[in-house]
Amino acid sequence: MNGVGIVVVSHSRALARAAVDLAAQMLAGRSLRLAVAAGLDETTLGTDALQIMAALKKVDGPDGVVVLMDLGSAILSTELALDLLDDPTGRDRVTLSPAPIVEGLVAAAVAAASGASRAEVAAEAAAALQAKQRHLGEQDSPVAGTGSGVLPGEPAARGDITVENLHGLHARPIARLVTLVREHDAQLSLRNLTTGAGPAAATSPTQLASLGAERGHRLQVEATGPAAQQALNAVLTLARSGFGDDDLLTSVPAAPAAQATVAANSLGPQGVSPGIGIGPARFWRTVPESRNGALPTPRNGSGPRDADAELRRLHGAREAVRRTLARLAASTQAELGAAEAAIFAAHEAILDDPAITGPAETAIRAGHSAEDGWTRAVAAAEQAFAALADSYQRERGHDVGAVGDQVLAELTGGGAGGPSGQGVLVVRDLTPAQAASLNREHITAIVLARGSASSHAAILARSRGIPAVAGAGDEVLQLPEATALVVDGTTGLLLVNPPEDMLSRYRATAAEQADCAAAEQARSGEPAVTRDGRRVHVQANLGSVQDALDAARLGADGAGLVRTEFLFLDRTAAPGVDEQEQLYRQIAEAMPGLRVTFRTLDVGGDKPVPYLRSAPEANPFLGVRGVRLTLASPQLLRDQLTALVRVAHEHPLGIMVPMVSTPGELQQVHVLLADVLQAETGGVRPPGLELGVMIEVPAAALKAAAFAGLVDFVSIGTNDLTQYTLAAERGHAELSALGDALDPGVLRLVEAVCHAGAGRFRVGVCGEAAADPLAGSVLTALGVTELSVSPAALPAVKARLREVDLTALAKLLPACLALPDAAAVRSALTSVQP
């Protein structure tokens, strides 16, 4: 039987059946493809995506399906069911109708039974309210644009709350409120009794924000629906806890618009990449045009559009952004903690905000493209924020804009975006991919609101030679575009709108530093030989072919660490052997004749890869990461070893295994490598091929002798070794002083490794401490013979080593190892070191 199918999705099976009975009365015996997906069972209220999927399949046919849904989660479950359909073309035959379920079903059933097309059936359903509206006379909703803030009839429950939060009801409290309300089978609305604003639907972040609820304002909450009282109680409890926020008592200064120095958080910014950078403040924009008010070009030109197809595109783009947000939330939670990750929950709530999705859908149904409809809806929501009285809450409009931009980028294929112009990039944090895309000719410095010296964004800033400060606090994100900034990445100074005389002083210092750097660069091709005649191999840490070219130009003695994970991140599947071989070869060829040490994939922990492992870990830094993960995915490791072995036939090449804890792990890698050599060359090992491990786990440092015979070299990863030794997370802005590799505890581990290695294997350091002016010298005095640093740091590190007398320094070390902490070591040595 052909004809449009109809699916009724409801929280209540009884309600759905009754609605179907009513519609059947109108059909006068004509037949119809109709299925019901309602209730979790006969009596339990709820919706179930699998049930909906089965109903869709049951009535699907060449003419397609129209779905009518009742409240809130019925829509979400239906969207999920569409995502679950194994036949993607099937999704294009489905129209989700916004019509009210009883009136819509009656109208749709009559139309479908009379042979109408899917578009006609959907249009009939959508128009089903008109008769009733005409009869009663149209009434405007008190909440502009949506009407969804009004509860039908008398509320079943009502209560008042006072906003205690310092910044009022801002993005994160709102996100928690919306999430909580969605868990209940009830409809809630809020009214600001202090200002008279509202009502606002409690499921709409934008409407809630437009209440302008500041600290001290009284709000009235009204609830209807089966779980009205329960939902109201939950909201009152949440409100009493400050909506789960910790900003009840703390005071954060407002954005400094015209003052000279940002005291952005209690610690102040921290210098993480040396040098001075001056320029106007720029921000990361996902879609630059949308910020300038220009709408992106509609994908299909201005001709007639298939509204369903456009809606489907918008849905797909929102789902893609949802996945990105989930990934960011997971990595942020692992790196910075739950509080910081909460912003992504707020962004997800914006993504589902009916005050944005509703108008966007309406615009698309009226003939606009998905891009156009979405941009208009987002712009209207941003304007609602702009009209708020409180400046902090006004700034929350940035969050709406940021989410809007991300969806638009997905729609237009605009990708990850970039800085809003040339100057100083001010950004919360940077992903490796974003940092790698920066052009240092355009970006004179980076100000990270979050992060610390060993966060990956900071490492990448150093490797690209861009001055940077980290941990500047989220307040810097509110600076107006083009604010004049001076960044000193050596001292951690950030100046905002400095007076002209100060600006010229910094310009002069920057010029002096540039002269000094030029002098160091002029000699960087020469070996680094200390004053007492010891040769130190200064190698480079690489994350791209460009890094390798830079390192060769700046006189690297080789590459001590190629972070191959940059090839594996930000994609949906692992690269194949050929792709890897090609990239590794390009890197090796950029450094002809020099040994290049490739680290096998080091992901997990702070570098999650979505396609590799999804099981959540309570503490990913102590979880399945580095070699633990690659041994658990042997094919992945085999592919990588195969690609490296192929390149090793033409170039001196090291393979380095990360996060090793026991010699047994390395033995397993040996077995895999032997297999690969057998398959590739009949078991012949390329003469220039070496195998080594990273020492990042304290236990591995203490038993380093156990690796003798298994390795040609070890490289100490002081970033991880320090965080594990001091139990101080490497990216934690407040723990950066504690997590200093010059702590005597860490230095003793380095000493133990050098002792174990003497005459058995070479010992290098490739953590960030290698480039630290003092730590680099101390590490070499302890017996390390190879330092690997970011390419940009090569000339300065070599220049400093030429000034050091390692024999004299070594004599001071026993006393240093007995000191209580890194600060004491630094002050003991700073007076005697150049």
Got the DSSP string for 130-148?
HHHHHHH-----SSTTT-T
For residue 174, CA distances in Å to 205, 242, 291, 347, 549 come to 6, 11, 24, 11, 49
Q: Of these partners, ligand PEP, Mg ion, none, which one is at the site of residue 463 (CB under 5 to 8 Å by kind)? A: none
Shorter beta-carbon distance to ligand PEP: residue 575 or 764: 764
Shorter beta-carbon distance to ligand PEP: residue 357 or 541: 541
Least distance to ligand PEP, CB of residue 787, Å: 12
Q: Of these partners, Mg ion, ligand PEP, none, which one is at the site of residue 225 (CB under 5 to 8 Å by kind)? A: none
Q: What is the largest CA-CA distance in the chain?
A: 103
Q: Of these partners, Mg ion, ligand PEP, none, which one is at the site of residue 563 (CB under 5 to 8 Å by kind)? A: ligand PEP
- Among residues 428, 216, 232, 252, which one has the least CA distance to residue 343? 428
String marking each residue 287-326 x if it binds Mg ion according to CB under 5 A: ----------------------------------------
Shorter beta-carbon distance to ligand PEP: residue 151 or 561: 561
Q: How far apart (Å, rounded) are the C-alpha atoms in residues 494 and 485?
A: 7
Tokens of 58: 């049951």
Q: Give, as one character, the DSSP assignment of residue 455.
A: S
- Check: CB of residue 373 under 8 Å from CB of residue 361: yes
Q: How far apart (Å, rounded) are the C-alpha atoms in residues 671 and 19?
A: 67
Shorter beta-carbon distance to ligand PEP: residue 275 or 767: 767
Instruction: Specify the stretch interacting with Mg ion by CB under 5 A; choose among 25-33, 604-612, 695-703, 787-795.
Output: 695-703
Shorter beta-carbon distance to ligand PEP: residue 462 or 613: 462
Least distance to ligand PEP, CB of residue 563, Å: 5
Active-site residue list = 456, 766
Q: Of these partners, ligand PEP, Mg ion, none, which one is at the site of residue 718 (CB under 5 to 8 Å by kind)? A: ligand PEP
Residue closest to ligand PEP when measured from CB atoms: 717
- Among residues 800, 736, 286, 722, which one has the least CA distance to residue 469? 736
Which one among 717, 744, 791, 795 touches Mg ion, defined by CB under 5 A? 717
Least distance to ligand PEP, CB of residue 542, Å: 11
Residue closest to Mg ion when measured from CB atoms: 720
Could you say whether residue 768 binds Mg ion (CB under 5 A)?
A: no
In one-letter notation, the amino acid at residue 796 is A
Got the DSSP string for 358-394?
HHHHHHHHTT--HHHHHHHHHHHHHHHHHT-S-HHHH
Q: How far apart (Å, rounded) are the C-alpha atoms in residues 606 and 265?
A: 24
Tokens of 662: 């026991």
Q: How far apart (Å, rounded) are the C-alpha atoms in residues 279 and 288?
A: 19
Shorter beta-carbon distance to ligand PEP: residue 203 or 715: 715
Shorter beta-carbon distance to Mg ion: residue 696 or 729: 696
Q: Of these partners, ligand PEP, Mg ion, none, which one is at the site of residue 369 (CB under 5 to 8 Å by kind)? A: none
Q: Of these partners, ligand PEP, Mg ion, none, which one is at the site of residue 766 (CB under 5 to 8 Å by kind)? A: ligand PEP
Q: How far apart (Å, rounded) are the C-alpha atoms in residues 421 and 443?
A: 8
Least distance to ligand PEP, CB of residue 741, Å: 9
Shorter beta-carbon distance to Mg ion: residue 360 or 669: 669
Helix H or strand E segment including 222: strand 218-224
Instruction: Specify the stretch interacting with Mg ion by CB under 5 A; choose among 99-107, 220-228, 504-512, 717-725.
Output: 717-725
- Check: CB of residue 312 under 8 Å from CB of residue 96: no
Least distance to ligand PEP, CB of residue 718, Å: 5
**Footprint of ligand PEP on this chain (CB under 6 A)?**
561, 563, 602, 696, 717-720, 766-767
Three-state secondary structure call for residue 273:
strand
* Residue written as token pair 């910094």: 506
- Among residues 209, 188, 186, 190, which one has the least CA distance to residue 198? 190
Least distance to Mg ion, CB of residue 379, Å: 44
Q: How far apart (Å, rounded) are the C-alpha atoms in residues 683 and 700?
A: 29
Which one among 247, 335, 488, 720 touches Mg ion, defined by CB under 5 A? 720
Least distance to Mg ion, CB of residue 696, Å: 5
Q: Of these partners, Mg ion, ligand PEP, none, which one is at the site of residue 767 (CB under 5 to 8 Å by kind)? A: ligand PEP
Least distance to Mg ion, CB of residue 602, Å: 6
Question: Count residues contacting Mg ion (CB under 5 A)?
Answer: 3
Phi, then psi, of 483 in degrees rounded to 5: -60, 135
For residue 525, CA distances in Å to 376, 430, 512, 591 come to 56, 32, 22, 13
For Mg ion, the binding residues (CB under 5 A) are 696, 717, 720
